[in-house]
Structure 1
Amino acid sequence: MKLFLSTIFLLLLHTAYAQQDQTGKKYDFVVAKDGSGNFKTIQEAINAVPDMRRNETVIFIKKGIYKEKLVLAESKSLVHFIGESKDSTILTYDDFASKKNAFGEEIGTSGSSSFYIYGKDFTAENITFENSSGPVGQAVAVLVAGDRAKFKNCRFLGFQDTLYTYGYESRQYYENCYIEGTVDFIFGASTAVFSNCTIFCKKGGYVTAASTPGNKKFGYVFFQCSITGDAPANSYYLGRPWRPFAKTAFIDCQLGAMIRPEGWHNWSKPDAERTTVYAEYNNNGPGASNSKRVAWSHQLTKDEAALYTLENILGDWKIK
């Protein structure tokens, strides 16, 4: 009898939380600034996800600007954010690296992030992630440490160090996303695939700064992406090595005129030229000419490019 009553209580509790949109799709939690959902803030919804839950928790976030410094703890797995619209559901904060904490210390690049993602199997759709502090040095919009993080139809807005792919053992997948910035605005140690994304270059700088561990076969791989922006011609490098074994590849991409003819920079680390793997295949556009590329970068053959598959890059993680 007690077990029966407990089961009924849990079903009623879930029903009280669960809501659905106009299409009938059900969500576990709804976040709305106007009070029409279960929570008014995103962090409240994150905190309500049971620790170590084995099933997915779907959180619908209604349109609005949510100024919060967010943390998805490692104990919060299988969390799925769905925004009402990528242009109107905006998660933002304005910390930056040189900002002081309560002890008068600079918070640093990692401390500047607007959103920390440590939980595994995080998914986000139709959301803007922003660091709104402006061109004030390193200012991270999202720091992703958890494994198997997936973003679809999302925007990442910032200047220097916009997207921090932090986790050494993290695999990440970005599809139909928009990522903008200036210096090293996609950077870190993770293995990450960018598919059909728009990479928007502002002012001048470097698109990527990978710090791929030496034991990883792949770092960043861009498939059918558009490297565009309002930066002047010949003002951007495709990448520079934050760590010696940086790995970055652009395959079937459109490269704008802001990409410099030499393509890649060694970050004043001549030894890194022997250990980095900077590769391109079948790119087009004014920035794709390879006749003046640095000698230590690599133009893939058809057979070499064929090895860049999701299965080879992401291993046993099957993208759905």
Structure 2
Amino acid sequence: MIALLTALAVAVGCLAVAAGVAGTLGGADDDDTGGSDDANDTDDTGDSDDSDEYDYVVAKDGSGDYETIQAAIDGAKSFPPDRIRILVRAGVYDEKVEVHAWNPDVTLVGERAGETVITHDDHFEKIDRGRNSTFFTHTLKVRGNDFRARNLTVENSAGPVGQAVALHVDADRAVFENCRFLGHQDTVYAAGEGARQYFSECYVEGTTDFVFGGATAVFENCRVHSKADSYVTAASTPESEPFGFVFLDCELTADPDVSEVYLGRPWRNHARTAFLRTRMGSHVLPAGWHNWSRPEAEVTVEYAEYDSRGPGSEGERAPWAAALTEVEAERYSKANVLGSEGDGEWWDWEV
């Protein structure tokens, strides 16, 4: 599979990593979902050619400081006084990567999102560690606060075999820009009580609950692509947190044969998810939201939309979901959702 991934990445130059991610972009847009000129697809122009700007360079061919991403992270100083910047040369890195809690202020930058790929194939049954096996399936796990990633693809290549996480992030103030997250069920686990995370101009694909967890996470100008009839989000927002997942100016697309997708269902009873100014393809069901067969959750969840667009915005939503007014929508600004006193605009790329 590695050889196939590499060959396709070189041949295409971007945005098509492997046959296992067929439909990632090609064939993913029908007439309802914005066409082939999708502004939310990742841009593979890159801005990371000057290795002098980085503390370490990772290259599979041995021309850098390290040949694996994990080795570069493990070689970085714990609790560094200054940000650690790591350039990852184009290539397919089949490894399980963890940014440890003692490695805050780490920046990972790939040369190009479609050609700098972190991939692994762990899944629930393969891990076989009991009922919590999902949480060991990640390809990339981020625990160090103030993490930054740009121009990377993170893939769980296990296929449609159940829970298989690509990105597991429970760090606070984590930023992902122009990245691609590929998988099936449980692709992105945005976790951590009180943790705040920001995804800008990213591409996320999956089948079931492929954005899930308890973090406060903003997805701005992202493309969110469904590969099966199922659910996009499964928030587990703690009752004490005012926001869960917030999608701003995003686009929801789907494979051509997908036609029955819910915006979300509550993993926990106080799930909070909102879509603002989001274009939705016809695959989104009129009801929009599902109670996960728990009617009691309908009185505790906060599911909301404002100015949804496209054919998926039509029809009568579940009566327990909110249609925000313009004034109410102002509460969901990026600054209000992610900001806190003293932090400033921490989501800016370099702070």
Flag whether TM exceeds 0.5 (same fold): yes
Q: Distance in 2 between matches of 1:54 and 1:176?
A: 29
Q: Does 1:293 align with 2:292?
A: no
Aligned 1:17-32 pairs, distance under 5 A: 22-23=49-50, 26-32=53-59
Deviation at 1:193, TM superposition (A): 0.2
Q: Distance in 2 between matches of 1:241 and 1:177?
A: 23
Q: Distance in 1 between matches of 2:52 and 2:301?
A: 46
Q: Which runs of 5 or more structure 2 residues have no equivalent in the other structure?
A: 1-46
How many residue pairs match? The answer is: 298
Give SS of 1:110's match.
helix
Q: Which residue of 2 aligns with 1:124?
A: 149
Q: Which residue of 1 aligns with 2:236?
A: 211
Q: Which residue of 2 aligns with 1:40?
A: 67
Deviation at 1:169, TM superposition (A): 2.0
Describe the shift of the 1:209–1:105 C-alpha distance in structure 2 as closer, same or farther (beyond 3 A).
closer
| Cα RMSD (Å) | 1.6
Select 2:287's aligned residue among 259, 262, 273.
Answer: 262
Q: Which residue of 2 aligns with 1:83?
A: 110
TM-score where L is the length of structure 2: 0.82
Q: Which residue of 1 aligns with 2:81?
A: 54
Deviation at 1:163, TM superposition (A): 0.2
Runs of 4+ in 1 over 6 A off after TM superposition: none
Over the matched positions of the two proteins, sequence identity in percent amounts to: 46
Q: Which has the higher strand share?
A: 1
The code of the aligned residue for 2:328 comes to: E
The code of the aligned residue for 1:303 comes to: V
Q: Distance in 2 between matches of 1:29 and 1:306?
A: 41
Give SS of 2:208's match.
strand
Structure with the larger RCO, 1 or 2 (CA within 8 Å, 6+ apart): 2
Q: Does 1:177 align with 2:197?
A: no
Q: Does 1:167 align with 2:192?
A: yes
Describe the shift of the 1:214–1:285 C-alpha distance in structure 2 as closer, same or farther (beyond 3 A).
same
Give SS of 1:43's match.
helix
Give SS of 2:312's match.
coil
Select 1:65's aligned residue among 82, 86, 92.
Answer: 92
Select 1:140's aligned residue among 165, 185, 193.
Answer: 165
Describe the shift of the 1:271–1:21 C-alpha distance in structure 2 as closer, same or farther (beyond 3 A).
closer
Q: Distance in 2 between matches of 1:105 and 1:294?
A: 35
Give SS of 2:125's match.
coil
Q: Which residue of 2 aligns with 1:311?
A: 335
Q: Which has the larger radius of gyration?
A: 1
Q: Does 1:273 align with 2:313?
A: no
Deviation at 1:100, TM superposition (A): 4.1
Deviation at 1:110, TM superposition (A): 0.3
Q: Distance in 2 between matches of 1:54 and 1:91?
A: 27
TM-score where L is the length of structure 1: 0.90
Does structure 2 conserve the Cα–Cα contact (< 8 Å) formed by 1:203 and 1:231? no
Q: Does 1:229 align with 2:241?
A: no
Does structure 2 conserve the Cα–Cα contact (< 8 Å) formed by 1:63 and 1:90? yes
Deviation at 1:24, TM superposition (A): 6.8
Q: Which residue of 1 aligns with 2:30?
A: none
Deviation at 1:39, TM superposition (A): 0.2
